Structure 1
Amino acid sequence: MKKHKNVVIFLIKFFVTYFILFGIYAAYLEKSQEKETSFQTASITTSVAKQTVGVLEFFGFHADYMQHTEELSVKLLINNVYIARVIEGCNSISIIILFIAFIVAFAGSIKATIIFSILGSVFIYVINILRIAFLTVMLHKYPEQQEFLHNLVFPAIIYGTVFLLWVIWVNKFSNYKK
C-alpha cells in the first residue's frame, strides 16, 4: 500500500473535489434551468451565448442569440440565420470543474493552488467563448463540415487548453514538480 500511497491520495483528492464541485453545479442547474412549462437555460449558459455574440460582433458579424423554445439551449444567429446552439455542456463549467479537481489533487501551496485554479478557470472560460465564436463562424461559412468541426476541432481546442494548463501546473507549481 505504501508503494501506491501517492496515487491513492491523488485519486481521493481528485474525486472528492470533483464530486463536491459537481454537486454544487448540479444544484445550481436544478434551481436555474426551466424545462417544465417552457425552456430557459441556466444564466451561465445564456451569458456564454451573449458573450459569444459580443465576440462575433467585435469581428464584424451581425450576430444575435435567443433562447431556444423547444430545448434547453440558446440559439446563435448570424445575419438572422440560426447557425449553432449553446447547451449546458458548452458553457465550460463542467470542464472547469475537471480542471480544478486535477489542480487540487496535484496541489502545490494553498496560495498557488487557489490562484492557478482561478486564473486557469478564467482562461478556460475565455478560450471557450472564443472557440464557440470560431465554430459559429466556421459553421456559417462551411456548414458541410459540421461533423468535423464540432466533433474534432471544437473539443481539441478546449481539451488541449486544459491539458496544457495541467502540464504547466504539474511542472511549475505543484508539489510534484521536478
Structure 2
Amino acid sequence: MKALLIKYKSVIRFIITFLGVYAVLTMGYNVYLNMSDGSKYYPDYLTHLVAEQTTLVLNSLNYEAEILPHPNEPSLKIIINKKYVARVIEGCNAISVIILFLSFIIAFAGKLKTTLFFGLAGSIIIYAFNLIRIVILSVGLYHYPWRREILHNVIFPMLIYGTVFLLWMIWVNRFSKKSNG
C-alpha cells in the first residue's frame, strides 16, 4: 500500500488539492448567495449583472430587450421584442463553472504569478463566453423556440465546458509546473 501511495503521490495531491479548493470556493460562493438579500439586485448581484449585460448586448444588436423579475421563482425573465424567451437563474452566471476551472488551475499550479494571471484571464474568458452564450441562446429561442431542448441542454453546455477544457489543456501543456518537469 505504501508503495502505491508513493507511486501515485502526485495524483493523490492533485485530487486532494482540487477537492479542497473546490469545496472552499463553493462554500464561499454559497455564503455569498445566502448573504444576498435580493432587494436591490434580484435574485443576487452576479446573476442580475449577467442579465443586465445580456440585455445591453441584445439591445446593441437591435433587439428590444428587457429583463423582468420572475413572479414565481428567483430568476429574471429575458424579454425580446415583448416576447418572453428565457430566464436567467443563479446557475446562468457561470460562477460554478469558474470555480471548477480555478480548482483545476490551482491543483495543477504553476508559478504563483502565472497561476494568478491565468486564473484571472481564464475566469474573464469564461464569464465573457457565458455572456455571449446567453445572448445567442436568447436570440435562438426568440427565432427558434421549438429548438429549446437541444440549444439549452446540448449545444450550449458543450460549448461552455469545451471552452473550459481548452483552457485547462493550454494551462497543463504550457504553464503548469507539472508540464515543465
Counting aligned pairs with the same residue, the percent is 47
1:29 to 2:33 alignment = yes
C-alpha distance 105-72 of structure 1, shift in aligned 2 (>3 A): same
Show CA shifts across 1:78-135 (max 9, x none): 0121100111111000000000000000000011110000010011000000000000
In structure 2, the residue matched to 1:56 is 58
Q: Which amino acid aligns with 1:26?
A: N
- Aligned CA RMSD, in angstroms, stands at 1.4
CA offset at residue 66 of structure 1? 1.4
- 2:150 — aligned with what? 148
Equivalent position of 1:42 in the other structure: 44
Map of 1:102 onto structure 2: 104
Instruction: Structure 1: state its 5+ residue gaps.
Output: none
Cα distance between partner residues in 2 of 1:158 and 1:29: 22
Query: How many residues are matched?
Result: 175
Stretches of structure 2 that go unaligned for 5 or more consecutive residues are none
Deviation digits for residues 7-41 of structure 1 (CA, Å, limit 9, x no counterpart): 11001110111111111100000011459xxx931
- Match for residue 10 of structure 1? 14
Q: Indicate the residue corresponding to 1:170 in structure 2.
A: 172
Deviation, 1:70, is: 0.9
CA distance in 2, matches of 1:55, 1:157: 19
Matched residue of 2:57: which SS?
helix
Shift of 1:177: 1.4
The TM-score normalised by the length of structure 1 is 0.95
Shift >2 Å, 4+ stretches: none
Are 1:131 and 2:133 an aligned pair?
Answer: yes
Query: 1-side partners of 2:91 and 2:132: how far apart?
Result: 15
Residue equivalent to 1:157: 159
Question: Partners of 2:104 and 2:97 in 1: how far apart?
Answer: 11
